Structure 1
Amino acid sequence: MVKQIKVITVRNSDDEIDRLNFENIKLEKQKSILHKSVKMKHDELLLEKEKNKILSEELNTLKQKLKELKEEKNKVVKKCLGNEDVLKHNLKKQELEIESLHTKFWKKFNLVDKTFFPQNFKLVQLDQPDFNKLWSDAKYSR
């Protein structure tokens, strides 16, 4: 007995081959576009990373400057407070000296002539004396 074997060969038609080639070309183009897009995204991320690094350095520089300015401000404030204390002390010293001179003046003045001025007499200083009036008063009082 002889068996018969049928050999079936399937041939792709030219249209089918053209269609597959077209799809292959289309997929290659998409692959190329994706590679370009990934490369661009990668470059963007590198640029962003570099930009962040620069901004971070600038931020650190500004923080350092701020720290230095705060230290300088604190030094100035301490100096001013020290000056304020010195000024208050000097003012108090001057007030005591004026009071002492005032007391000495009145003691000497009272010793010179107790009858001419009363005890509660106070010395008044004119802001801007009218010299003409003073001169005329002095002329006529003679």
Structure 2
Amino acid sequence: MRGVTEADLPELVRVDREAFPDDPYPYFVLRQLYDVHGDRLLVLDDGERLHGYVLFPTVSEGREGRIMSLGVTRDQRGRGHGRRLMLEVLRRMRAEELREVSLTVEPTNAAAIMLYRSIGFTSEDSVRKNYFGPGEDRLVMTLIL
């Protein structure tokens, strides 16, 4: 696990496409996210390829964190990589004395919801309809740090 570099962008795009084949970020969006939040983007690197990433900017004058995206390639799922990325992000946020962190997740993504709940995230169990546009519902989850 390490911070992302500009040279990682093509691999980051590949990972995102593998992790989210139905709705990956376009290259230009990942480029801009790197430009704006590159210091808040960790990748899983085995020395040959990237296998996952997490993007975790802060908001509200640096007092609250967001998990904007957590992706692990399909061939690497179920090996604890998502948990490792999340625990490292939470460790960093606690060290920065953030108050809380939130994220959104597709309501049908049971594996992700179970991961987030096992780490301590909670939700009001109500789905926010059309969060990302028509038909793009999300479950909002938060963790008090």
The TM-score, its normalising length taken from structure 2, stands at 0.19
Structure index of larger Rg = 1
Q: Which has the higher contact order (CA 8 A, sep 6+)?
A: 2
Q: Considering fraction of residues, name the structure with more strand.
A: 2
Q: Considering fraction of residues, name the structure with more helix.
A: 1
